Chain A
Amino acid sequence: MSNSHLFLKSCFPRAPLNNGIGRYVCQLQRVTLKFCKNNGSSKGMREFIENNLVDFAKENPGVVVYVKPRRHRTPVLVGEYLNGGREWLNCRNSTKEDILKWIELLKTQNGPSSTMRLRKMWHTDVPSIQGAWTPFMLRSPEMNLVTFPSEEYSTPLDIEQSATEKLLELYKEEKQT
């Protein structure tokens, strides 16, 4: 990622109005489709209105759909959200399938998304339940009486026997027998 995104406005993941805690509420309130009746750049939009728009409106009764013919203008898709956000999409020369995908995207998001860079992939109101970890957590109380630096506690727990030590041990054993 290039550094240009550092100047993009950043935010942390949030959901508007505690969405999803009790039930899910679709955040998209209004979709406006603007298109031209003659121009070729609106062809996909016209096909979309003929074939898919009624199904979309039936599937999503919570979303108001406006269709506005605008003479000699590029086709445009505008979504308006419950939190007041507004997303504007240019649909010049896009096909019926493209527009269906974009309108699905407008439906599934909570507000305009393209202007924000997410800083975290996680949000919580309760960061710790068992308490934050400290180096003294779950240590035995005898550690209170030790004076540091101490030889005993500054060696690692799992030092393996070196080859030299092993040989010396073998040698000693042999000597004893």
Chain B
Amino acid sequence: MAFLARNLVALTRQARLLDNLTHSMRCLSVTPQFCQQPKLELPTTADLQEVSKEEQKECQKIFDKVNQQLAKKEEGRLFAVVHLCGKQFKITPGDIILVEGYWPPTIGDEIRLEKVMLAGAKDFTLIGAPLLEPGLVDVKATIIEKTLTHTKTHFKKKRRKQYLRINFQRSPNTMIRINSIEVKQQVDKPSPSPINENRIF
């Protein structure tokens, strides 16, 4: 995660790169050669266009590679970072995550987690800004348990004020099993129709 964040920072530092990014699409694999240089040297304005063309070519090459891998199903195990109930979870198929507090879905419900912020495999990473294109990555999950936490004690005391309270509370917990993570489309072509029409974000 940390190196991805670092790469993202490196990307944002290079203004011309960011521009290029926004033109092409919102997500990008972040292991190209030109991202790996630790020092930034600004090119003169004359060869800036050439450089940007080269970069675009390089980007396209990476997109093609990723798409090829996805088409051949050689990408292996995928992971994703999803935003769920105000928290971010790094998940991969077979994981168990827990949502704290009241949450309506009940046991046996099969849901799709749609706020995908990042998805990746061994060789590539798709980074959303902040979310990936709707319908690009499909994360499916099942609710397996709804229960209460252990009894938590809330002990309050004020000295010399004859004030002492002991409260006990148990809050609801929901356990979710991640079933599958799949990349549904080609990486550089955002789809005309999303999976879920009712998506609001």
* A residues at B contact (CB < 8 Å): 1-2, 4-5, 8, 13-15, 19-21, 24, 26-27, 105, 107-110, 113-118, 121-126, 129-130, 133, 137-140, 143, 152-153, 157-158
Contact = CB atoms under 8 A, between A and B. Distances in A.
Interface string B99-122: 010000011100000000000111
Contacts, number: 127
A38 B122 CA distance: 67
Given A15-B144, A19-B144, A114-B148, A5 B153 contact: yes
A123 to B, nearest CB: 4
B148 A129 contact: no
Contacts of A125: 94-95
A129 B91 CA distance: 11
Contacts of B145: 15, 27, 108-110
Contacts of B78: 129
B150 A121 contact: no
11 contacts: A5-B153, A15-B175, A20-B143, A21-B177, A26-B107, A109-B145, A122-B97, A123-B97, A129-B78, A137-B3, A143-B38
B152 A5 contact: yes
Contact of A139 (B38, B106, B179): B38
B22 interface: no
A24 B92 CA distance: 19
Given A126-B92, A138-B3, A157 B122 contact: no
A15 to B, nearest CB: 5
Contact of A118 (B2, B98, B153): B98
